[in-house]
Amino acid sequence: MLLSEFDFDLPKSLIAQNPPENRTDSRLLVPQNTIIDAHFYQITEFIKPGDLLVMNNTRVIPARLFGHKASGGKVEIMIERLLNDKQVLAMVKASRAPKMDSFITLENGDKAQVINKENGFYTLNFETDSLLGLLNDVGHIPLPPYIERSDKKSDLERYQTVFAEQEGAVAAPTAGLHFDDALLKKLKNQGVDHTFVTLHVGAGTFQPVKADNITDHQMHSEYFEIDQKTVDKIQQTKANGGRIIAVGTTAVRSLESAAKSGTLHATKEETDIFIYPGYEFKVVDMMITNFHLPKSSLLMLVSAFIGRERMMEIYQHAIENEYRFFSYGDAMLLTIDASSQDL
């Protein structure tokens, strides 16, 4: 398939720059025989008792740092992932690339040494006893590049799900941002349980696909884990006739990666799974997801789930009805179209 088949024109005014006042006030698009325009707090009307929500409980770290080189030149560090208690893999923006073994001084005076560069990413070693403590002290929430403003104190809470627990992501699993504790409680009282996977979202999630033929695209790798408790819940739900509802593309990728052998199993590993039209889903029946960037791998995943033509129809409806796009934007509740996997 050609990359051009996943392009569309999006008015810049529809790119959400801030979250709604309340998490559940986001709009919710539900494609059925016709397209239903709802709000996220109405999701209880579309999910049945016995269904299971699978959520990504990764926690976004304050991964953007500012500092300067010994020459005084300004430096911006965007952490891609934590390697250990002292080292990170990061992108470094500076007027001139920092030299090997040189030091970057952070805003609080702490230092990071440049110890390697490979494939555009630097390995930095921080002189600290607590890397996460340092990030919490001087780091900034790494808002996506299409949010054209500086981060605010409120982003510390709002660019984070209410169930975030496992630190390590540099981008939020944004479909989960629409839930609050009250809605989760209401769903549970309705007979809709939830469980968790962990996938630490990397900055590569914002990178567009560049290969003209999408099958030539190589996905970035991300760490994920799924435990036996979650596997058991999913298998029991399916045995009872319930549906598995993945909250976000990261939950989809985690579940499908853990079932690549044909059987879902507990695991902790890296995944670079690339889901595009023709993929046969093994676990997921429904998906909650935001509206994604043109030519992105996430758009291709959605196309694999419901069919490319249907996906483009839905996006056109969303644009005409001024839905808000991307991380702080609105959501869709999608049901798998089995026929779309035969394309």
**DSSP conformation letters of 191-255:** T-EEEEEEE---GGGGPPP--SBGGG--PPPEEEEE-HHHHHHHHHHHHTT--EEEESHHHHHHH
Structural domain of 285: 3-60+155-342
What does the angle CA 18 – CA 162 – CA 61 come to, to the nearest 5 degrees?
Answer: 75
- pLDDT of amino acid 341: 60
Please report whether residue 197 resides in a domain: yes
Asked if 204 and 332 sit in the same domain, the reply is yes
Task: Work out the burial of residue 212: count CB atoms within 10 Å of its CB; fewer than 13 is exposed, 13-18 middle, 19 or more buried.
Answer: exposed
User: What is the count of structural domains for the chain?
Assistant: 2
CATH code for position 32: 3.40.1780.10
Q: How far apart are CA 282 and CA 319, in angstroms?
A: 31
What does the angle CA 81 – CA 143 – CA 18 come to, to the nearest 5 degrees?
Answer: 150
Mean pLDDT by 10 residues, the chain (343 residues): 96 98 98 97 98 98 96 95 93 94 96 94 94 94 95 96 97 97 98 98 82 94 96 98 98 98 96 96 98 96 97 98 98 89 52
- pLDDT of amino acid 343: 47
- pLDDT of amino acid 340: 67
Asked if 212 and 276 sit in the same domain, the reply is yes
- pLDDT of amino acid 261: 94
- pLDDT of amino acid 339: 73
Asked if 225 and 310 sit in the same domain, the reply is yes
Asked if 123 and 179 sit in the same domain, the reply is no
Please report whether residue 150 resides in a domain: no
Element (H, E) at 269: strand 267-271
Asked if 166 and 244 sit in the same domain, the reply is yes
Asked if 169 and 251 sit in the same domain, the reply is yes
Please report whether residue 39 resides in a domain: yes
Asked if 159 and 284 sit in the same domain, the reply is yes
38, 28 in Cβ contact below 8 A? yes
For residue 52, give the amino acid letter: L
42, 198 in Cβ contact below 8 A? no
Asked if 112 and 239 sit in the same domain, the reply is no
Where a domain ends, among 113, 138, 163?
138
Q: Tokens representing 202? A: 């990397």
CATH code for position 88: 2.40.10.240
